[in-house]
Amino acid sequence: MARDFREGVPVVFFPEGTTGTGEVDLLPFRSGLIAQTIMAKQPIYPGFLHYDLSADDLARGLTTVKDLHWGTQPMGAHLWTLLGIKATHCTIRFASEPIAFTPAGLANRKIAVVEAQAAVQALVMPLQSTPAPASR
Protein backbone atom coordinates (compact mmCIF):
# COMPACT_ATOMS: atom_id res chain seq x y z
CA MET A 1 0.00 0.00 0.00
CA ALA A 2 2.79 2.43 0.90
CA ARG A 3 4.47 1.88 -2.50
CA ASP A 4 1.19 2.53 -4.30
CA PHE A 5 0.68 5.73 -2.28
CA ARG A 6 4.19 6.91 -3.24
CA GLU A 7 3.49 6.12 -6.91
CA GLY A 8 0.15 7.94 -6.87
CA VAL A 9 -1.91 4.79 -7.45
CA PRO A 10 -5.42 4.99 -6.00
CA VAL A 11 -5.89 2.38 -3.27
CA VAL A 12 -9.24 0.83 -2.33
CA PHE A 13 -9.58 -1.32 0.75
CA PHE A 14 -12.33 -2.85 2.82
CA PRO A 15 -11.55 -2.18 6.48
CA GLU A 16 -13.70 -5.07 7.69
CA GLY A 17 -11.03 -7.43 6.36
CA THR A 18 -13.62 -10.09 5.48
CA THR A 19 -16.95 -10.60 3.77
CA GLY A 20 -20.27 -10.46 5.53
CA THR A 21 -23.63 -12.06 5.00
CA GLY A 22 -25.44 -8.76 4.44
CA GLU A 23 -27.53 -9.20 7.59
CA VAL A 24 -25.87 -6.16 9.14
CA ASP A 25 -24.76 -2.98 7.38
CA LEU A 26 -21.15 -3.11 8.52
CA LEU A 27 -18.89 -5.52 10.30
CA PRO A 28 -16.36 -4.19 12.82
CA PHE A 29 -13.47 -2.40 11.14
CA ARG A 30 -9.89 -3.53 11.64
CA SER A 31 -7.52 -0.70 12.36
CA GLY A 32 -4.39 -1.80 10.48
CA LEU A 33 -5.18 -0.46 7.01
CA ILE A 34 -6.64 2.74 8.39
CA ALA A 35 -3.55 3.30 10.56
CA GLN A 36 -1.23 2.73 7.56
CA THR A 37 -3.18 5.23 5.49
CA ILE A 38 -3.10 7.84 8.25
CA MET A 39 0.65 7.27 8.75
CA ALA A 40 1.17 7.83 5.00
CA LYS A 41 -0.80 11.09 5.34
CA GLN A 42 -3.27 9.96 2.68
CA PRO A 43 -6.95 10.96 2.69
CA ILE A 44 -9.57 8.27 3.23
CA TYR A 45 -12.80 8.71 1.30
CA PRO A 46 -15.49 6.48 2.79
CA GLY A 47 -17.58 4.38 0.46
CA PHE A 48 -20.37 1.84 0.70
CA LEU A 49 -21.53 -0.94 -1.64
CA HIS A 50 -25.20 -1.95 -1.70
CA TYR A 51 -26.57 -4.88 -3.70
CA ASP A 52 -30.11 -5.55 -4.90
CA LEU A 53 -31.52 -8.52 -6.78
CA SER A 54 -33.81 -8.27 -9.79
CA ALA A 55 -37.57 -8.61 -9.45
CA ASP A 56 -37.26 -11.96 -11.27
CA ASP A 57 -34.81 -13.30 -8.67
CA LEU A 58 -36.91 -11.99 -5.78
CA ALA A 59 -39.98 -13.71 -7.27
CA ARG A 60 -37.99 -16.97 -7.31
CA GLY A 61 -37.44 -16.55 -3.56
CA LEU A 62 -33.81 -15.46 -3.67
CA THR A 63 -32.55 -12.95 -1.12
CA THR A 64 -29.44 -10.81 -0.93
CA VAL A 65 -28.60 -12.26 2.50
CA LYS A 66 -29.02 -15.94 1.60
CA ASP A 67 -27.99 -15.98 -2.07
CA LEU A 68 -25.85 -12.97 -2.93
CA HIS A 69 -23.53 -12.41 0.02
CA TRP A 70 -20.81 -14.94 0.61
CA GLY A 71 -21.15 -15.60 4.33
CA THR A 72 -19.74 -18.91 5.53
CA GLN A 73 -20.45 -21.18 2.58
CA PRO A 74 -17.51 -22.69 0.65
CA MET A 75 -16.27 -20.72 -2.37
CA GLY A 76 -17.47 -23.33 -4.90
CA ALA A 77 -21.00 -23.41 -3.48
CA HIS A 78 -21.12 -19.62 -3.41
CA LEU A 79 -19.99 -19.34 -7.04
CA TRP A 80 -22.59 -21.94 -8.08
CA THR A 81 -25.31 -19.89 -6.34
CA LEU A 82 -24.09 -16.70 -8.04
CA LEU A 83 -24.30 -18.34 -11.45
CA GLY A 84 -28.01 -18.93 -10.86
CA ILE A 85 -28.80 -15.26 -10.19
CA LYS A 86 -30.28 -13.50 -13.21
CA ALA A 87 -29.36 -9.91 -12.35
CA THR A 88 -27.74 -7.94 -9.58
CA HIS A 89 -27.71 -4.19 -9.17
CA CYS A 90 -24.89 -2.58 -7.20
CA THR A 91 -25.06 0.97 -5.89
CA ILE A 92 -21.75 2.47 -4.84
CA ARG A 93 -21.73 5.56 -2.65
CA PHE A 94 -18.63 7.62 -1.96
CA ALA A 95 -18.47 10.63 0.32
CA SER A 96 -17.48 13.85 -1.44
CA GLU A 97 -14.94 14.68 1.27
CA PRO A 98 -12.33 12.57 3.04
CA ILE A 99 -12.83 11.57 6.65
CA ALA A 100 -11.93 14.47 8.95
CA PHE A 101 -10.24 12.54 11.72
CA THR A 102 -10.05 14.26 15.09
CA PRO A 103 -6.61 14.87 16.64
CA ALA A 104 -7.35 11.90 18.93
CA GLY A 105 -8.17 9.75 15.90
CA LEU A 106 -4.96 10.75 14.16
CA ALA A 107 -3.00 9.79 17.27
CA ASN A 108 -4.81 6.56 18.14
CA ARG A 109 -5.80 3.97 15.54
CA LYS A 110 -8.55 2.53 17.76
CA ILE A 111 -10.25 5.94 17.85
CA ALA A 112 -9.62 6.40 14.10
CA VAL A 113 -11.40 3.14 13.36
CA VAL A 114 -14.50 4.30 15.26
CA GLU A 115 -14.47 7.59 13.34
CA ALA A 116 -14.00 5.79 10.02
CA GLN A 117 -16.85 3.39 10.74
CA ALA A 118 -19.14 6.33 11.58
CA ALA A 119 -18.23 7.99 8.26
CA VAL A 120 -19.10 4.85 6.32
CA GLN A 121 -22.26 4.27 8.37
CA ALA A 122 -23.49 7.68 7.17
CA LEU A 123 -23.55 6.26 3.61
CA VAL A 124 -25.41 3.03 4.38
CA MET A 125 -28.51 2.15 2.40
CA PRO A 126 -31.25 -0.07 3.91
CA LEU A 127 -31.59 -3.71 2.94
CA GLN A 128 -33.60 -4.30 -0.20
CA SER A 129 -37.29 -3.82 0.44
CA THR A 130 -38.54 -3.27 -3.09
CA PRO A 131 -37.57 -5.13 -6.22
CA ALA A 132 -34.66 -3.85 -8.26
CA PRO A 133 -35.35 -3.10 -11.93
CA ALA A 134 -36.06 -6.29 -13.91
CA SER A 135 -33.18 -7.63 -15.97
CA ARG A 136 -33.18 -6.97 -19.68
Mean pLDDT, the chain, integer: 87
**pLDDT over 60 at 110, yes or no:** yes
Question: Roughly what angle, to the nearest 10 degrees, separates helices 31-39 and 109-121?
Answer: 100
Residue ranges per structural domain of the chain: 12-121
18-67 pLDDT per residue, tens: 777 667 778 899 999 999 999 999 999 999 988 889 999 999 998 888 88
For the entire predicted model, the pTM comes to 0.79
- What number is the average pLDDT over the span 77-103? 92
Nearest-5° Cα angle at 127, 125 to 132 = 95
